[in-house]
Structure 1
């Protein structure tokens, strides 16, 4: 098996070949998709901004991603093992770093997450997880899957799970390849994100203009809350922590009545 780095390298100094579009230039449907999938965690703005160059393709890809994430049969832990290992083998920093949080939420310990970027035999994986990681290595290298490996997989997974495993590994590899070739920066390492971390964000909400759409609540539930009394939105945190800045900006973009105003100062 070809060697690979312990962790994918981040593209910190090379500009992207196709710069991600800012949320203000995304099609409305794409902004809604991101708002609807906030539970999947942060760190996807540059990914969505890259897909926004091709809206029809973005919708199709995100539809498949949603099925694999929310309707898959592999289970969360197996899914995150496949994604992390595939991203590691392909040196895809964006995907690898993006999935650290979902992996932890799926039950992987910090040691297990780190072990997905090392020789699988150096960590005490359960036999069924070890063969899963070995299969990911073979698929990422476009190498044949021997009967012995397949038979071990088939003892642990049902037919629909085996099909899902192959599609998940392929979908992950597709995105890893695209983001690597395009040099798409991780949201946390982009110059724009770094600049925002040094700024102070104040949120202003005009409740009289609020039309009770509630999209801001879906985008930033830590900052906005919808009243059960009149349906209008209430501002919970006028000066949110910078970790919620991207969500708040998305909420302002999604607001159909323009009731949310952001003041961004050094």
Structure 2
């Protein structure tokens, strides 16, 4: 039997008006999620968590919208960064969500599986290897190393370099929330997309 989460997503019928207004304008299906209609789509669990703190939830969705919808980074590279964060932080929810999004942005099944191996996997281009290494260094040492930074700067402009840092940091923050509230997977998420822990893992 799966234990109950520490903090359950707030059901749409319990959202007050400030929480409802927080969602509107930031999530395309907001009104349908909140409608209570028999055919309404199920609200994703992450939105249900944000519903507990409307002011914070609204600010987060607006900020994260820049990273997801107006990104300077190639979306495929952004999803690669997020998947590595999810893998290193052990965030099942974040991994399941972004394995699907990454595939939609062009990451192959082989590449998604190779995220668990890390930058040493043979499937990566030089830039992809640097992006994965940057995540490893940020989570291990809280700083991108000099060699990695110089390598990234040969491929990316200043806005993209800043986004590498913000994507890794932002999705580590989300992973910490997901892990700490024991956020359950949404029904449409596949558990088998979560990578098993390899016996060895290439780390810089």
TM-score by shorter chain over 0.5: yes
* Cα shift at 1:186: 1.2
* Cα shift at 1:145: 2.1
* Cα shift at 1:44: 6.5
Counterpart CA distance in 2 for 1:119 and 1:74 is: 20
Counterpart CA distance in 1 for 2:111 and 2:83 is: 11
The partner residue of 2:21 within 29, 36, 51 is: 29
Whether 1:14 and 2:3 are equivalent positions in the alignment is yes
For structure 2, which runs of at least 5 residues remain unmatched after alignment? 31-40, 190-204
Larger RCO (alpha carbons 8 Å, 6+ apart)? 2
* Cα shift at 1:45: 1.3
Which secondary structure state, in structure 1, belongs to the residue aligned with residue 95 of structure 2?
helix
Counterpart CA distance in 2 for 1:130 and 1:111 is: 15
TM-score by length of 1: 0.61
For structure 1, which runs of at least 5 residues remain unmatched after alignment? 1-11, 191-266
Trace 1:196-215 onto structure 2 (pairs within 5 A).
none
Return the index of the structure with the highest Cα Rg.
Answer: 1
Whether 1:92 and 2:95 are equivalent positions in the alignment is no
CA RMSD of aligned residues (A): 2.3
Trace 1:172-211 onto structure 2 (pairs within 5 A).
172-188=171-187
* Cα shift at 1:123: 2.9
Q: Deviations over 1:39-94 (max 9, x none)?
A: xxx99611011111100000010011111111110011111001111111100010
Which secondary structure state, in structure 1, belongs to the residue aligned with residue 154 of structure 2?
helix
Whether 1:152 and 2:174 are equivalent positions in the alignment is no
Counterpart contact for 1:43–1:98, Cα < 8 Å: no
The 1:36–1:110 alpha-carbon spacing in structure 2 relative to 1, beyond 3 Å, is same
**2:133 maps to what in 1?**
134
**2:36 maps to what in 1?**
none
Greater strand share, structure number: 1
Q: Deviations over 1:93-129 (max 9, x none)?
A: 1011011221111111111111112233123200010
Trace 1:217-236 onto structure 2 (pairs within 5 A).
none
TM-score by length of 2: 0.79
Q: Deviations over 1:18-51 (max 9, x none)?
A: 11101222322244333358xxxx9961101111
Counterpart CA distance in 2 for 1:68 and 1:31 is: 17
